[in-house]
């Protein structure tokens, strides 16, 4: 087959009846269903989402690169991604075309290294606030405390994000309500996508209206913080160095104008959502893996002791702690929070002989590529050494894409890696982390890949 004129290859198709029969299983946990389809039919397969919506599912790195990078102009996000805008607004994550590009150009500089370095202290403060009560409780209880790690990491990552955006601490009740509203709407949205046949009933039973009200409440909470900031500044308060200030200070290159309050609200809400749940899930899986693999935890601790001695890490220390980064990279391979991404063909196209007619919905199955035995030796094994400098990567481009790829790659990837590295190091400086329950927590793939069941671990104080 020549690269210039590849033969047209008919795409394997999961029969519609099989798609429909599996739609309930797919709604519960799509990962085993998708794996089974791809194992049976090949790396790219066509199926019916919920037995209704035709879709092309792929774990082929080449095709993923084609839609995300090489020919990205032809592949905007699909209605699956845009639909969430109903609950989140039109921010970077949900917008498209020239509006997206203008916003990306405006916001990208806000994530430069100096800002990240400036946010490090704030992150360390939040981590300290999360760990200190646990250390105190462990000390009272003879040296250890039981932790449900997904809850702890969600609260920590949410606080890090909320403080990075808004600086001033929100009340605990507001934080919790905000997190709850985001979770409720996300779960509802995913249900409407995976079980489209339920939509008429959800409409009739007032579920859509209810969730619209929750979205209004969420926006109200965020708006309150924006207005508070504007009032403080009008009264001459100094400007904090946080992401909200970055959004308020940003000026469009062509007009010199700032964003409207609605735009700032949309972008702030998107940062909160995109930035906390992804990291929270990655960190939860990280603790599960390290508790399962104490030798790996010991290796991270040895590295941090050698580099930091007894002190906390600063931003400048992080590059000197490569093994902690490898542990994160391997966690993101095994449990990529953004486990699937969707795009839709705007015009007729083809890839390596595979016709991709206008309107084709394509799901880039990141989890599938990260677990493909053809690409990864013993793909289910937790082996941070894979990402070592001395271990040349053998995978093709786009075999590993926890932060996506192409122009819509995650804007917060450095932010996330910094935050996660700090959580990892600060926790291991204080605690040994032990597994309480041998069972795998299971997967709950919503928009992000959560653990299905609680992950209960024992945090044992290292000193005192």
Q: Which residue numbers belong to the known binding site? A: 410
Q: Return the residue nearest ligand HEM (CB atom).
A: 412
Whether the Cβ atoms of residue 65 and residue 398 lie closer than 8 Å to each other: yes
Whether the Cβ atoms of residue 153 and residue 426 lie closer than 8 Å to each other: no
Task: Give Cα 363 to chain centroid, integer Å.
Answer: 16
**Smaller CB separation from ligand HEM, 226 or 271:** 271
Beta-bridged to residue 47, according to DSSP, are 55
Euclidean distance between the first and final Cα of the chain, in Å? 67
- What lies within 8 Å, CB to CB, of 172 at 6+ separation is none
**Smaller CB separation from ligand HEM, 19 or 164:** 164
Characterize the bridge pairing of strands 44-49 and 53-58.
antiparallel
As measured in angstroms, the least distance from the Cβ of 227 to ligand HEM is 22
**Smaller CB separation from ligand HEM, 419 or 432:** 419
**Smaller CB separation from ligand HEM, 48 or 285:** 285
Q: Which residues bind ligand HEM (CB under 6 A)?
A: 77, 92-93, 104, 270-271, 274-275, 278-279, 282, 337-338, 341, 402-404, 408, 410-412, 415-416
CA distance 49 to 339: 16
As measured in angstroms, the least distance from the Cβ of 93 to ligand HEM is 4
As measured in angstroms, the least distance from the Cβ of 411 to ligand HEM is 5
Residues flagged as binding site for heme: 410
Whether the Cβ atoms of residue 65 and residue 397 lie closer than 8 Å to each other: yes
The CA-atom distances, in angstroms, between 33 and each of 81, 196, 343, 440 are 21, 18, 20, 18
Residue with tokens 């037995």: 51
As measured in angstroms, the least distance from the Cβ of 107 to ligand HEM is 8
**Smaller CB separation from ligand HEM, 275 or 451:** 275
As measured in angstroms, the least distance from the Cβ of 9 to ligand HEM is 26
As measured in angstroms, the least distance from the Cβ of 265 to ligand HEM is 14
- What lies within 8 Å, CB to CB, of 178 at 6+ separation is 158, 162, 170, 218, 221, 222, 272
**Smaller CB separation from ligand HEM, 270 or 297:** 270
The CA-atom distances, in angstroms, between 380 and each of 115, 332, 368 are 36, 12, 11
């Amino acid at each position: 087959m020549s690269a210039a004129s590849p033969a047209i290859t008919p795409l394997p198709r999961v029969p519609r009846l099989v798609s429909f029969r599996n739609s309930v299983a797919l709604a519960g946990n799509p990962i085993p269903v998708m794996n089974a389809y791809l194992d049976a039919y090949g790396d790219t397969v066509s199926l019916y989402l919920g037995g209704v919506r035709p879709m092309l599912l792929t774990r082929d790195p080449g095709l993923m690169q084609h839609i995300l990078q090489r020919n990205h102009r032809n592949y905007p996000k699909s209605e699956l991604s845009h639909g969430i805008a109903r609950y989140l607004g039109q921010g970077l994550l949900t917008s498209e075309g020239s509006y997206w590009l203008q916003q990306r150009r405006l916001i990208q500089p806000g994530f430069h290294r100096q800002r990240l370095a400036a946010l490090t202290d704030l992150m360390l403060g939040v981590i300290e606030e999360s760990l200190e009560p646990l250390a105190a409780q462990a000390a009272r209880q003879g040296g250890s405390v039981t932790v449900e790690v997904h809850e702890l990491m969600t609260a920590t990552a949410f606080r890090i994000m909320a403080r990075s955006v808004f600086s001033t601490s929100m009340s605990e009740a507001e934080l919790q309500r905000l997190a709850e509203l985001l979770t409720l709407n996300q779960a509802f949205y995913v249900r409407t996508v995976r079980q489209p046949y339920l939509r008429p009933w959800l409409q009739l039973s007032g579920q859509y209206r209810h969730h619209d009200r929750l979205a209004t409440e969420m926006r109200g909470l965020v708006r309150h913080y924006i207005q508070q900031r504007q009032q403080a500044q009008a009264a001459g308060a100094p400007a904090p160095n946080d992401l909200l200030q970055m959004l308020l200070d940003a000026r469009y290159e062509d007009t010199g104008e700032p964003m409207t309050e609605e735009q700032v609200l949309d972008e702030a809400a998107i940062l909160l959502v995109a930035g906390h749940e992804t990291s929270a899930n990655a960190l939860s899986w990280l603790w599960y893996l390290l508790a399962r693999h104490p030798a790996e935890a010991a290796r991270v601790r040895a590295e941090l002791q050698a580099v930091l001695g007894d002190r906390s890490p600063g931003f400048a220390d992080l590059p000197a702690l490569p093994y902690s980064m490898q542990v994160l990279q391997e966690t993101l391979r095994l449990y990529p929070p953004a486990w699937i991404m969707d795009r839709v063909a705007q015009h007729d196209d083809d890839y390596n002989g595979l016709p991709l007619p206008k309107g084709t919905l394509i799901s880039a199955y990141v989890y599938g590529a990260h677990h493909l035995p053809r690409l990864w030796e013993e793909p289910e094994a937790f082996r941070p050494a894979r990402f070592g400098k001395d271990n040349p990567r053998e995978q093709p481009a786009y075999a590993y894409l926890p932060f996506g790829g192409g122009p819509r790659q995650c804007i917060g990837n450095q932010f996330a890696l910094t935050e996660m590295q700090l959580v990892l190091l600060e926790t291991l400086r204080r605690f040994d982390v032990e597994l309480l329950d041998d069972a795998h927590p299971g997967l709950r793939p919503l928009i992000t890949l959560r653990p299905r069941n609680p992950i209960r671990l024992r945090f044992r104080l290292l000193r005192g």
